[in-house]
Amino acid sequence: MGLNPMDIRGVSEGAGVAVLVIMTVVATASVGMTVTLVMDEDEGPFGAEFTFDHSEDLGQLLIFYDSGDELRAGSIHIADDTNEVTWAEIEGMEPDEMVEPSNIPARLTSDNAWGESVSADDFVEIRYIPDDDDDDAEEVVLATWNDPEDEPDDGPVDVPEA
C-alpha cells in the first residue's frame, strides 16, 4: 500500500484551505474588535448620551437623556452664550434628585427657567459640574448642540484678482 502522489497533493491543498480559513477568521475577528472598541470611545463621560430635537415653530429645544449613569440633577448645567441653568431648575426637581436615562425630554423654552426661546442657530452645551463635596471630580462637557467647532471648514478661499 504505497501512497499515491494524488493523496500527498490532496493533503497539502487541505492544509492550505485550513490556513486560509484560520486567517480569514482571525482577520474578521480583529476588524470586529477594532470597530467595537472605536464605537465605545464615542461614548461621553459617565456613559452619558444626549440627543436634541429643535422645534422652530415653538422656539424650543428638547433634550433627551438617552443612556448613561444616573446623574445629580443640580450638577447637570445647560448653557448657551447668555443663559446657564441646571437640569433641576428646568424640570422643577430638587438639586440632589437623580436623573436617569428616559424618553421624557427636558425642554429649553421661554416658559421655564431657561427664560427664552431657542433658535436653530443657537449653541447649547451640557456640562456636568460636581457639587463641592466631590473634590476629585472635574467639570466635563457631556454634549453639545450646534457646536461651532464641529462645523466643517469651508475649504480653500480663492483670492480675488485685483
Task: Check whether residue 107 and residue 140 sit in a common domain.
Answer: yes
Residue pLDDT, tens place only, 130-153:
877 655 668 899 999 987 776 555
Q: Give yes or no for a contact between 71 and 46, defined as CB atoms under 8 angstroms apart.
A: yes
Type of residue found at 143? A
In terms of Cβ atoms closer than 10 Å to its own Cβ (0-12, 13-18, 19+), residue 124 is buried
Please check whether residue 156 lies inside any domain of the structure. no
Please check whether residue 4 lies inside any domain of the structure. no
- Give me the domain span that covers residue 23: 11-40
- The model carries a pTM of 0.64
Task: Check whether residue 115 and residue 35 sit in a common domain.
Answer: no
Please check whether residue 3 lies inside any domain of the structure. no
CATH value at residue 144: 2.60.40
Task: Count structural domains, the chain.
Answer: 2
Residue pLDDT, tens place only, 15-45:
788 888 999 988 888 887 777 666 554 555 6
